[in-house]
Structure 1
Amino acid sequence: MTVVGVVAYVLLGTGALLALTRLALGPSLLDRVVATDTLLVIISAGLAVHAALEQDPTVIPVLVVVSLLAFVGSVSIARYVGGMPQQSEHADASDGGALPAAEQEVGR
């Protein structure tokens, strides 16, 4: 294995560990979604590096499947999150979620 291969695999491994850390610690759903998408991109890059260094074209279909999985998963989560109702910072349980008077005037 060449020095370039070792450096590429070390960088991809480091990125994967950082993405796994964000996946485990991410405080919100979107943090975890971005970490998962990043991890799938790193896996795709690792497969591409392996295919290039080993000159092995049999990995290419797996690379295409992982890339499509990452794309479809990201779009699906984006559509799911986009359809969720948003929580307003000003909404309070006591006023039933009504907007303050200043924001109601702007909305007219």
Structure 2
Amino acid sequence: MTPTRDPVFEVGPRLAMGALLQGAVWADFATVRDAVGAGDSVISKHARSLEDAGYLEVSKGAVGRRPRTWFRLTDAGRTALESHLAWLTSLSDALRAPTGAPPPASSDR
């Protein structure tokens, strides 16, 4: 797999949601909201963006009489997230690698 930047995951809540859901079969809305530390409307908005990209599956139902929403990453979402994380890692590695040129002297800045 070639690491690829994915603009869908460049928004903090979406990356956080993807990272959380990567290790879950299904996660309920409240769990995602609390783990990401965002409000209901923020989670709803970003869930819709992930769903529109084909990265998130949403299931609605009820527990007793209370409505519930559950999320899980699709196979495409898992692949895209994995590739984006690999891209971020390669970017981080590149930033830490020496370039071969010394930094400019303080009087040259």
What TM bracket, shorter-length normalisation?
0.3 to 0.5
Q: Which has the larger radius of gyration?
A: 1
TM-score by length of 2: 0.32
The answer to which structure has the higher helix fraction is: 1
Task: Pick the structure with more strand per residue.
Answer: 2
